[in-house]
């Protein structure tokens, strides 16, 4: 049986694609095919990376044979000999993942060097300094990357040598000093590892290939993958390529180029060039590069060829290119091309310009925009120049977008008080609860030491478009002393911190922010194409007119989730709510609810007016009642005095409401079954508000009333009957022909499996993926942050299932519910209102599953619109 091919020369690999060759390998194959000067080489595929890990981190013999067959191919084409004492072949060994992961994985240059090869190169080039400089670079890189040993000791040897001799540049080091440095490097290697530095180029190559495969699993690569939703299973390819030398002399050099400005998107060449240097010198910042005009001044013919190839590559790929190049003795080589990383603002301009230039169409322009960074366009950000000078004091989870600066406030009340006094504050809590909502609204940003990406703080902050850093375990809060400790530094309410919600980094002191520029017209133009090509509706999760207004400005087509519980925490109604909870009789509960109803009605009227002509879905009360009662002694005493009852009675009631697992306890529709008067009051407020706004505006409102946490059709029917009896009477008395809908959240696995029965009683479904995920996985979303990192590290899970839908498990429940629900109710409209409703990858799944809309926080609305359009372009329905 033929052995599978894992290694391809650049010439034979054309057309295999990034999935097999990685981005760098695919680019090299493509450039070779269209005639761009590329050094000879070959690619070891991403499948070989998988094979390496499956083989217990070893290279199988048949893979080794394929590697050396391709080395022979390079020798034959180049006339050079790997490890030879005449015309020796040196190679580079570089990683190349399917998508660009700049700086995350490893590269080794000048491989194949040993004492014999070094002498041969010195003799043939007449430049011993050049040969020795490459030798010492190789020993350093091999020790650091292949052996995983820090490079600081070897770097210090060179730096000390330069300091002692007053040298500023590496190029000032003499031949004799380089010879001694190579000897010292090899001695250090021998003392560190108990063996001589490997002289056999074949041993060097195999160790280097294994090292690049290992780098796919290094810490920085794992972090980058998690941040950018790159699956671990993709693996990396390895590219082995003939070395070309930019450090041979003044007619040699190296550089990096972008075919357009990656910061602004302007159609101008953005490139830097470093004469007499290797590529690592540019990346490492060892020397300051020169503007590309310097290449034109030194070698005009090479410059002319360079500009021509840049233009060729951009037209060929029909996108802005990021390229690496080297000039060796006046001859130009391209070492890499890839679609260049760019700022979100630059991405908009480049996409629109490429359409105008006829290189791409509107659909392609929509697909070019990265939805994972798109929301950054909408928020203020720290000034990049100021940020570059600072080092973060701690890092948490990047839970809420934007940037914020303020003094520390240690309670919601303090944050609100100081905000009202004109102060900018950061609310600092171990974790937040619904009672903290006033402080969260007042604060510039929120910092918690516990909780994950879907914790209360994270969800609410994203809904507000509020900067939030969650789960910062490096920080310790002492609520009594009102201090925040990071390492040995203690911060108080007098201290200022800055939070970067897009990275999770925390900085000491104030940092200047800059507002996004959405006035250029590119944003509006692209969003016009987005709405032209999407079929999935996009609503928002909003509880206040402010959030609703913001979402509507961002293009939301209604409210898919209005959480009514946040309305109860306002100061003018929390007392009545607590009075209702503490009441012993139904009539006393009804009296307390009657005090709340006009306030709720006013809230709903504001939301309806703001969102006209779109629909608003109101969820009935969901959290367990204990969340509305005070926990601190002083507040309990205050409530007892106000109600004229004993502290003991309140404490007994709080104890009576205590549950072992409240998130799976007496909450959601179960409250309406036990206390139907709550559902009656809320229905009354919803319908009266809709009737009033319909009369006032002349536009008929169509309320959607959503029952949470349903697990059984009979349960939904019981509550639906209460809703309909209340609503029908109010509508009949009004004389208006107003329609309304009753639906349910699907957030319990049992409901998914019985969706055909439940759909007979529902006019719509909305998946609450936060609860559905935690019930399907069997772990709490607020506690999972403790152990999920271990699951990522062990490769058990690759993504946070609360952030990106678990398609294999929870996704099957969603598909089952959609299929079953529409089998008995073909007119059932279906949406999603959990956190995954704003996640681009999840939105593609929801589009393919046949949902009608997604609902997300206001600042995720443009992202959801973009992701919905991309999903339909990829797979129209």
| Contacts of 195 by beta carbon, 8 Å cutoff, 6+ apart | none
What are the CA-CA distances from residue 714 to residues 308, 511, 775, 829 (Å)? 72, 56, 21, 20
DSSP state at residue 142: I
Last residue of a domain, one of 214, 249, 284: 249
In the prediction, which pLDDT does 754 show? 98
The model's pLDDT over 726-747, given as tens digits with 9 standing for 90+, comes to 999 999 999 999 999 999 999 9
In terms of domains, do 138 and 207 share one? Answer: yes
Edge-to-edge strands, sheet with 403-409? 394-395, 505-508, 496-500, 403-409, 425-429, 445-448, 467-470, 397-400
In the prediction, which pLDDT does 284 show? 46
What are the CA-CA distances from residue 775 to residues 171, 342, 846 (Å)? 63, 39, 20
Q: Which of 94-108, 179-193, 551-565 has the lowest mean pLDDT?
A: 94-108
CATH number for position 149 = 3.30.1490.20
Last residue of a domain, one of 219, 249, 279: 249
In terms of domains, do 821 and 712 share one? Answer: yes
In the prediction, which pLDDT does 465 show? 65
Cis previous bond, 58, omega within 30: no
| Contacts of 869 by beta carbon, 8 Å cutoff, 6+ apart | 366, 529, 530, 531, 532, 533, 534
- Give the whole-number percent of the chain exceeding pLDDT 70: 95
In terms of domains, do 550 and 491 share one? Answer: no
Query: Which uninterrupted H or E stretch holds 468?
Result: strand 467-470
Residue 373: inside a domain:
no
Residue 507: inside a domain:
yes
Three-state helix/strand/coil letters over 86-112: CCEECEEEEEEECCCCCCCCCEEEEEC
Residue 485: inside a domain:
yes
The model's pLDDT over 688-712, given as tens digits with 9 standing for 90+, comes to 999 999 999 999 999 999 999 999 9
The model's pLDDT over 180-216, given as tens digits with 9 standing for 90+, comes to 999 999 999 999 999 999 999 999 999 999 999 998 8
In terms of domains, do 721 and 774 share one? Answer: yes
In terms of domains, do 150 and 50 share one? Answer: yes
> Is the per-residue pLDDT at 272 higher than 90?
no
Task: Say whether 360 sits in a helix, a strand or coil.
Answer: coil
For the annotated catalytic residues, the residue numbers are 456, 833
Residue with tokens 């999840």: 842
* Nearest-angstrom CA–CA distance, 496 and 510: 6
pLDDT band (50, 70, 90) for residue 716: very high
Which among 342, 101, 343 is positioned nearest to 225, based on CA atoms? Answer: 101
Residue 618: inside a domain:
no
In terms of domains, do 446 and 552 share one? Answer: no
Residue 676: inside a domain:
no
In terms of domains, do 543 and 412 share one? Answer: no
Q: Which of 27-36, 75-84, 268-277 has the lowest mean pLDDT?
A: 268-277
In terms of domains, do 463 and 545 share one? Answer: no
More confident of the two residues 119 and 794:
119
Mean pLDDT, range 117-139, rounded to an integer: 93
In terms of domains, do 501 and 551 share one? Answer: no
In the prediction, which pLDDT does 187 show? 95
Residue 143: inside a domain:
yes
Given a contact cutoff of 8 angstroms between Cβ atoms, the answer to whether 160 and 184 are in contact is no
Which among 345, 368, 343, 373 is positioned nearest to 873, based on CA atoms? Answer: 368
Containing domain of residue 424, as a range?
390-512
CATH number for position 709 = 3.20.20.60
In the prediction, which pLDDT does 660 show? 77
More confident of the two residues 378 and 800:
800
In terms of domains, do 402 and 545 share one? Answer: no
* Nearest-angstrom CA–CA distance, 572 and 620: 20
C-alpha triplet 299, 303, 308: angle, nearest 5°: 155
CATH number for position 456 = 3.50.30.10
Q: Compute the Cα dihedral for 446, 451, 452, 456 and give only its sign.
A: negative
The model's pLDDT over 44-71, given as tens digits with 9 standing for 90+, comes to 999 999 999 999 999 999 999 999 999 9
Query: Which uninterrupted H or E stretch holds 500?
Result: strand 496-500
Q: Which of 22-26, 337-341, 565-569, 672-676 has the lowest mean pLDDT?
A: 565-569
The model's pLDDT over 565-614, given as tens digits with 9 standing for 90+, comes to 878 877 778 888 888 888 888 888 899 899 999 999 999 999 999 999 99
Residue 856: inside a domain:
yes
| Neighbouring-strand partners of residue 767 | 746, 832
| Angle, in degrees to the nearest 10, between helices 586-611 and 571-582 | 150
In terms of domains, do 22 and 124 share one? Answer: yes
Mean pLDDT, range 359-366, rounded to an integer: 97
Tokens of 809: 């498990």
CA distance from start to end of the chain: 43
Please state, rounded to an integer, the average pLDDT across all residues of the chain.
90
Mean pLDDT, range 779-802, rounded to an integer: 85
Which among 107, 8, 100, 102 is positioned nearest to 48, based on CA atoms? Answer: 8
Task: Say whether 701 sits in a helix, a strand or coil.
Answer: coil
pLDDT band (50, 70, 90) for residue 285: very low
The model's pLDDT over 825-868, given as tens digits with 9 standing for 90+, comes to 999 999 999 889 999 999 999 999 999 999 999 989 999 999 99
Mean pLDDT, range 419-429, rounded to an integer: 94
- Based on the structure, what is the number of domains in the chain? 3
Residue 602: inside a domain:
no
Given a contact cutoff of 8 angstroms between Cβ atoms, the answer to whether 53 and 32 are in contact is no
Mean pLDDT, range 28-51, rounded to an integer: 94
* Nearest-angstrom CA–CA distance, 518 and 59: 52
pLDDT band (50, 70, 90) for residue 453: low
In terms of domains, do 458 and 538 share one? Answer: no
């Amino acid at each position: 049986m033929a052995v599978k091919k894992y290694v391809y020369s650049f010439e034979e690999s054309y057309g295999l694609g990034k999935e097999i060759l990685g981005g760098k390998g695919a680019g090299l194959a493509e450039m070779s095919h269209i005639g761009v000067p590329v050094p000879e080489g070959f690619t070891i595929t991403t499948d070989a990376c998988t094979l390496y890990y499956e083989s217990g981190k070893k290279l199988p013999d048949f893979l080794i044979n394929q590697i050396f067959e391709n080395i022979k191919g390079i020798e034959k084409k180049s006339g050079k000999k790997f490890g030879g004492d005449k015309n020796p072949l040196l190679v580079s060994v570089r990683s190349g993942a399917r998508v660009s992961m700049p700086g995350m994985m490893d590269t080794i240059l000048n491989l194949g060097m040993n004492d014999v090869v070094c002498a041969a190169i010195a003799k043939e080039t007449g430049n011993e300094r050049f040969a020795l400089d490459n030798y010492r670079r190789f020993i350093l890189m091999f020790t650091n990357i292949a052996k995983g040993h820090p490079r600081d000791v070897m770097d210090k040897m060179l730096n000390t040598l330069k300091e002692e001799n007053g040298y500023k540049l590496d190029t000032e080091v003499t031949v004799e000093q380089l010879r001694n440095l190579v000897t010292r490097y090899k001695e250090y290697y021998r003392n560190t590892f108990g063996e001589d530095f490997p002289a056999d180029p074949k041993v060097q190559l195999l160790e280097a290939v294994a090292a690049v495969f290992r780098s796919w699993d290094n810490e920085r690569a794992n972090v980058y993958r998690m941040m950018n939703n790159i699956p671990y299973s993709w693996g990396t390819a390895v590219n082995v390529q003939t070395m070309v030398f930019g450090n041979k002399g003044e007619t040699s050099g190296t550089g990096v180029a972008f075919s357009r400005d990656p910061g602004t998107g302007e159609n101008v060449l953005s490139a830097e060039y470093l004469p007499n240097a290797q590529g690592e010198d540019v990346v490492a910042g060892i020397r300051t590069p020169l503007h590309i005009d310097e290449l034109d001044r030194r070698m005009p013919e090479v410059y002319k060829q360079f500009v021509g190839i840049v233009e060729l590559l951009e037209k060929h790929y029909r996108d802005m290119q990021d390229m690496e190049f080297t000039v060796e003795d006046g001859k130009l080589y391209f070492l890499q091309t890839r679609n260049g990383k760019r700022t979100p603002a630059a991405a908009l301009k480049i996409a629109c310009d490429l359409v105008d230039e006829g290189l791409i169409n509107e659909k392609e322009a929509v697909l070019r925009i990265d939805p994972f960074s798109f929301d950054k366009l909408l928020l203020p950000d720290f000034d990049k120049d100021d940020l570059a000078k600072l080092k973060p004091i701690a890092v948490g989870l990047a839970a809420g977008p934007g940037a914020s600066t303020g003094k520390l406030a240690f309670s919601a009340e303090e944050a609100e008080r100081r905000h009202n006094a004109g102060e900018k504050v950061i609310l600092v809590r171990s974790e937040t609860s619904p009672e903290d909502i006033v402080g969260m609204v007042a604060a510039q940003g929120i910092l918690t030491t516990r909780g994950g990406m879907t914790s209360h703080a994270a969800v609410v902050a994203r809904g507000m478009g509020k900067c939030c850093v969650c789960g910062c375990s490096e920080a310790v809060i002492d609520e009594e002393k009102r201090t925040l400790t990071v390492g040995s530094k203690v911060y108080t309410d007098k201290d200022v911190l800055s939070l970067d919600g897009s990275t999770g980094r925390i900085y000491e002191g104030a940092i200047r922010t800059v507002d996004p520029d959405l006035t250029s017209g590119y944003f509006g133009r692209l969003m016009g194409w987005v709405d032209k090509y999407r079929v999935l509706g996009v609503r928002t999760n909003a509880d206040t007119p402010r959030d609703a207004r913001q979402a509507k400005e961002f293009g939301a087509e209604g409210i898919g989730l209005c959480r009514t519980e946040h309305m109860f925490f306002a100061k003018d109604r929390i007392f009545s709510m607590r009075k209702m909870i503490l009441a012993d009789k139904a009539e006393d509960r009804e009296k307390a609810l009657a005090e709340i109803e006009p306030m709720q009605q006013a809230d709903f009227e504001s939301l309806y007016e703001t969102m006209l002509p779109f629909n608003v879905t109101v969820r009935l009360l969901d959290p367990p009642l204990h969340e509305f009662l005070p926990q601190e002694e002083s507040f309990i005493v205050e409530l007892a005095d106000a109600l004229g009852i004993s502290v003991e009675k309140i404490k007994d009631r709080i104890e009576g409401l205590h549950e072992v697992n409240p998130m799976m306890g007496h909450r959601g529709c179960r409250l309406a079954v036990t206390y139907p008067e709550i559902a009656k009051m809320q229905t009354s407020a919803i319908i009266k508000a809709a009737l009033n706004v319909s009369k006032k505006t002349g536009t008929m409102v169509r309320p959607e009333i959503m029952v949470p946490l349903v697990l059984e059709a009979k349960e939904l029917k019981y509550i639906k009957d209460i809703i309909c009896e209340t609503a029908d009477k109010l509508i009949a008395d009004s004389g208006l022909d107003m329609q309304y809908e009753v639906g349910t959240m699907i957030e319990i696995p049992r409901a998914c499996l019985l969706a055909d029965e439940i759909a007979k009683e529902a006019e719509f479904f909305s998946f609450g993926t936060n609860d559905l995920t935690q019930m399907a996985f069997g772990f709490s979303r607020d506690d999972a942050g403790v152990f999920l990192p271990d699951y990522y590290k062990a490769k058990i899970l690759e993504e946070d299932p609360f952030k990106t839908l678990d398609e294999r498990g929870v996704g099957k429940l969603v598909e089952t519910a959609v299929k079953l629900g529409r089998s008995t109710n073909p007119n059932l409209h279906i949406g999603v209102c959990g956190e995954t409703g704003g996640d681009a990858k999840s939105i593609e799944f929801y589009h393919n599953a046949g949902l009608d809309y997604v609902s997300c926080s206001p600042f995720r609305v443009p992202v959801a619109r973009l992701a919905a359009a991309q999903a339909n372009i990829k797979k129209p329905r």
